[in-house]
Amino acid sequence: MAKKIKLSLKGLDCANCANKIELKVNELEEINEANLNFSLGTMALSMLEGINKEDVINKIKKIVNDLEPHVVVSEYKIDKIKIVDNKDVINHVYHVNKEQRCTDTKCSYLEGNHEHGNHNHSIDKEDEHVHSHELKDGGVFKQNISLILAIIGYIIATVLEDKGSVSTILFLVSYTLAGGEILMIACRNILKGEVFDENFLMSVATLGALAIGEYPEAVAVMIFYQIGEAFQGYAVNHSRKSITALMNIRADYANLITKSGEKKVNPEEVQVEDIIIIKPGERVPLDGVVIDGSGSLDTSALTGESIPIEININEEVLSGSINLNSMIKIKVTKNFSESTISRILELVENASSKKAPTEKFITKFCRYYTPIVVFSAVAVALIPPLLIKDVTFSTWFYRALSFLVVSCPCALVVSVPLGLFSGIGGASKKGILIKGGNYLEALKDVNTVVFDKTGTLTKGSFKVSEINTINISKEELLKFAAIGESFSSHPIAKSIVNEYSQKINKEEVENYKELSGYGIKAIIEGKETLLGNYKLMKDNKIPCEEIDSIGTAVYIAIEGAYKGSIIIEDEVKKDSKEAIKQLKALGIKKIVMLTGDNKKVADKVGAELGIEEVYGGLLPIDKVSKVESLIESKSKGKLIFVGDGINDAPVLARADIGVAMGGMGSDAAIEAADIVLMKDNPLSLVDAIKIGKKTSTILWQNIIFSLGIKIGVLILISTGVATMWEAVFADVGVTLIAVLNSMRALKQ
């Protein structure tokens, strides 16, 4: 069995290096799989059982530090830290550092520590990022003192350019100040076999320029490269903060009721069945059921829905919600690791492990792009002087050096994964959980959407509308049905139990058995009872007439004799019709509805919603077969199946993209689906497809823009029109623009 851990790589701002790190870690014999999330600076590892964790982490540290010495590798975890106002608090990995302002608009940021409600922050200097592109003590000036001095020296050298050796010395000093670190890194990497990286390329290009006497240009290129790298680092760091700010929604502590009174503890210490108190303004730390109090909850962190919901005794409360107005007491139903908010964050954080085709293509493409451009530079330097009469070697050598500046693929390897993760983060703001970049990208190709009916297009809040009896009273028939259905969590079963509204003695039930796709068989009060659909009666050779009703019929047989039926009706969700309309407007060619209900019910709902292709009376296995036939019949595009995630797990898994509706608190929904819509609203599917299309557009904008500019500049350089100045823009300038463009995916 594999052992899973997660590492934090603080200071990792080179996406090209991130790809190399991921590749090298995956080559370790102790590792099953490693996935590096550049957008968050984390790495998820699956190790072989029995392997010493510390040994593996030390090997990974060596790999990382060989490529990026300033990166700090540590195990990613939630740490208990110091006492604030004599109260234990938790310092979570997502907490803001000294450069960030708390994202909670109700919080006044204080230097050092601050606390408000259940949103505590503690600043620990040891936990700050320490690398070349983040602010450290002393501010921007102290951090970039060498670069600033290089700029001053360059300006003075340019003014004194006619002074001969004085300006040359100043140029060389400025070059050393601006590029000394890059030269050292390049030399170290060459010794380790890492030749084709940006440090080596910039070093060769600028040293070559110095060698042919192009002092001003060599120094200027190194200075502007460093400035561009700094801005790129700030942009990546800002994007990380923007993404992680979305995820700063996990409560830091829980108010646990103990024998000695109330105690503030780590949510991980709270056990199922423990009682906790949620005070006004606090975030709910764990899932539970209200046992005392009532009030309003802000669930926008889970669903994207800004309107508060009212909660009362015996109602479920999900972690991540914020208690708005009154104290409530809840009994915990799930431990911290299994709570709704923990699982949501885990899904979003691990989404990068399922890489999109575009990301895989770019990773593979960049392995060949840089060597091709480097060898092209060699050809540019050598071939024209040999074949063309009256051309100078220095001219073509200069052009070859400019080629090297353009050959770094940073714009692509930074912007593509960042764009995908920004799209996933932006979707989470709307209550749409996308489990991987592959599913996000696949959304743009959807041309067939298949809906389950109950709980997806309809409310799933059933109500008994009719009780039909044969040789039994309605009260007695309802009693048998309610006792038999009391073990089931299905909405239809709950509606029958609610209709009975009397206390049920479950000890009166023996040999209870659920028959998937048919109903229930049990001994109730000593009598063999069948509860289910018409197929159940037919298979057990119990004579009865199939009911022609708009609602769902539950047939009841006692001791082999048909005793009647209970009719339950459902209601179409108010947004279902609009969702179907908008899906068609998005270009979805085929919309299908599948249901276990009879054909008459299915056709009525389909007609009301404008769905032409409807199939009723289906068992779960029939739904799988129908989806398979729909997949086989389409020539291209992707098929989405949208279900409630409870009894539709097989078909959710079989579809190109499985989408669970109404996933709040449903373990089955989160496990089975590729995408979970936390709002019980079919319009969220429209939002998901729009986000997929927008993110894909942004990715291809970056790819086309980056490659277009680079190829264009390479052509201009080869013809002598462009110089190293344009080459620097084609490298760091294009990267910066692509990173900023990727951040648009956060704003969905």
Q: Where are the alpha helices (DSSP H) in 634-666?
A: 649-654
Residue 556 lies in a domain: yes
Measured from the Cβ of residue 233, the count of other Cβ atoms closer than 10 Å reads 19
3-state SS assignment for residue 263: strand
Q: Examine the domain organization and report whether 228 and 358 are in the same domain.
A: yes
Query: Residue 501 above 80 pLDDT?
Result: yes
Residue 692's H or E segment, with its range, is helix 683-718
Residue 183 lies in a domain: yes
Domain end (from 33, 59, 77): 77
pLDDT band at 247 (very low <50, low <70, confident <90, very high): low
Mean pLDDT of the chain: 82
| Overall average pLDDT of the 46-52 stretch | 83
Handedness of CA 430, 432, 437, 442 (dihedral sign): negative
Do 485 and 521 sit in the same domain of this protein? Answer: yes
Point out the least confidently predicted range of 101-115, 357-371, 422-436, 622-636. 101-115
- pLDDT at position 214 is 84
Least Cα distance to 351 among 417, 286, 430, 415 occurs for 417
User: H/E/C letters for each residue in 44-59?
Assistant: EEEECCCCCHHHHHHH
CATH number at residue 548: 3.40.1110.10
Q: For residue 34, give the amino acid letter.
A: A
Residue 657 sits in the same domain as residue 622:
yes
- Angstrom distance (rounded) from CA 93 to CA 378: 47
As a whole number of angstroms, the distance between CA 71 and CA 68 comes to 6
Do 555 and 608 lie in one domain? The reply is: no
Residues 228 and 178 in one domain: yes
Indicate the SS3 state at residue 660: strand
Is residue 325, in this structure, part of any structural domain at all?
Answer: no
Question: Given the DSSP bridges, would you call strands 261-265 and 121-122 parallel, antiparallel or unpaired?
Answer: unpaired
Rounded to 5°, angle at Cα 739 from 737 and 745? 115
Among 67-76, 188-197, 294-303, 691-700, which is the least confidently predicted range?
188-197
Which residues touch 430 (CB under 8 Å, ≥6 apart)? Answer: 304, 679, 684, 687, 691, 748
Q: Are 326 and 295 in contact (CB under 8 A)?
A: yes
Beta-bridge mates of residue 591: 449
Q: Is the pLDDT of residue 460 over 70?
A: yes
Average pLDDT of the residues in 171-177: 92
Same domain? 451 vs 506: no
Closest of 747, 685, 729, 660 to residue 231, by C-alpha: 729
Q: Give yes or no: residues 580 and 453 share one domain.
A: yes
Please determine, for residue 45, whether its predicted confidence score (pLDDT) is greater than 50.
yes
In a domain, 103, yes or no: no
Kindly state whether residues 588 and 632 are assigned to the same domain: yes
> The domain spanning residue 23 has which CATH number?
3.30.70.100
* CA dist., res. 592 & res. 12, Å (int): 46
Of 24, 18, 50, which Cα lies nearest the Cα of 36? 18
Q: Are residues 587 and 709 located together in one domain of the fold?
A: no
pLDDT digits (tens, 9 = 90+) for 671-694: 778 898 888 889 999 999 999 999
Q: Is the pLDDT of residue 548 over 90?
A: no
d(CA 675, CA 640): 10
DSSP 746: G
Domain with residue 611: its CATH number is 3.40.50.1000
User: Average pLDDT for residues 144-173, to the nearest whole number?
Assistant: 86
Domain with 625, as residue range(s), is: 437-459+572-673
442 shares its domain with 523: no
Last residue of a domain, one of 615, 641, 673: 673
The three-state secondary structure class of 171 is helix
495, pLDDT greater than 60: yes
DSSP 320: T
**pTM of this prediction exceeds 0.85:** no
In a domain? residue 151 = yes
The Cα 373–Cα 224 span in angstroms is 21
**Would you please indicate which residues are annotated as catalytic (active-site) residues?**
452
Kindly state whether residues 535 and 484 are assigned to the same domain: yes
Same domain flag for 411 and 445: no
User: Two tokens at 236?
Assistant: 């990546």
Identity of the amino acid at 650: P
User: Parallel, antiparallel, or unpaired for β 638-643 and 446-452?
Assistant: parallel
Boundary residue ending a domain (611, 639, 673): 673
Q: Is the pLDDT of residue 302 over 70?
A: yes
**Closest C-alpha among 410, 367, 399 to residue 730:** 410
105, part of any domain: no
Helices within 489-596 (DSSP H only): 491-500, 534-539, 576-585
Query: Is residue 667 in some structural domain?
Result: yes
Q: What is the mean pLDDT of residues 340-365?
A: 78
**Residue whose tokens read 């790999």:** 63
How many domains is the chain built from?
A: 4
Specify if 262 maps to a domain: no
